[in-house]
Structure 1
């Protein structure tokens, strides 16, 4: 069963830290949506989308990638890192248009220095930590 994670990790590398650990332990291919905005996903059985949360949405590069490249009727899992709270609505709307189903969701805190958080040195310092990474790997293994 072939799995891929399409990810975007823009500010502090929080999401990239998670997906690289997952790829090492779970034999999952990785596609960086910023560096490779087009890819054929049709040969994958399961597709993951991973992103930090920006203004309550997945990163625009992920949303654009999914809109353009996600084949219809695929099982999809979602991973996010966040300073405030997890929010999957933006990507779930695209899944609905593509007749795809979210087969699982994982979220964890990620170091965040956006906007006013910068004034206090950021929030969720040290995240994702080893426990977060272990939980992300277990999430993907359990799919």
Structure 2
């Protein structure tokens, strides 16, 4: 199954750690959305969107790309890292995918080191994340949805 992951990972590279581990599984292409020139992804069987969480949702560049370029009826999945795990932060990206009649395969989120705003004053939160267990769980998540798709 040919898979594309579009990701945005800045600050501490938390999300990129998950993406890199999944790419190592093979037959997965990862594209940093901040440098993306990809607009046609029709050749891919499954498309993943990965981001840190910004104001309780995926980064705006991911949302805008999905709105403009996600083809109808694609299999999609979501990955995210966040400083505080309160809820599933994928609601906005899911709404876009649903509007494109995408087949949502699943969502994986884990903690990621965060020094945004007031967290910087205390040296950050979720130190040491994503850790090996978080990364392994992300790979297991991907392998599980890939096998079902």
Aligned position for 2:112: 110
- Cα pair 1:26 1:140 within 8 Å, conserved: no
Q: Determine helix, strand or coil for the equivalent of 1:142.
A: helix
Distance across 2 between alignment mates of 1:54 and 1:31: 19
Determine the structure 1 residue equivalent to 2:133: 131
The count of residues paired between Structure 1 and Structure 2 equals 143
1:140 match? 142
Residue 29 (structure 2) pairs with residue 29 (structure 1): yes
Structure 1 window deviating more from structure 2 (86-95 vs 107-116): it is 86-95
**TM-aligned CA deviation for residue 37 of structure 1:** 4.9
Deviations 1:40-89 (A, max 9, x none): 11011111000001000100111111111110011111000000124111
Out of 35-44 and 48-57, give the one that drifted further. Answer: 35-44
Conserved in 2, the CA contact under 8 Å of 1:19 and 1:30? yes
TM-score w.r.t. length of structure 1: 0.95
Partner of 1:65: 65
Does structure 2 retain, via aligned residues, the 8 Å contact 1:38–1:65? no
- Cα distance in 1, alignment partners of residues 51 and 104 from structure 2: 15
1:100-137 per-residue CA deviation (whole Å, 9 max, x = no partner) reads 13211100000000111111100001100111111111
Give yes or no for contact 1:5–1:48 (8 Å, CA) kept in 2.
Answer: yes
In structure 2, the residue corresponding to 1:47 is in which secondary structure? Answer: strand
For structure 2, the residue ranges without an aligned partner over 5 or more in a row are none
Superposition RMSD in Å: 1.1
Distance 1:38 1:68 in 2: 11
CA distance in 2, matches of 1:121, 1:141: 34
> 4+ residue stretches of structure 1 with deviation over 2 A?
none
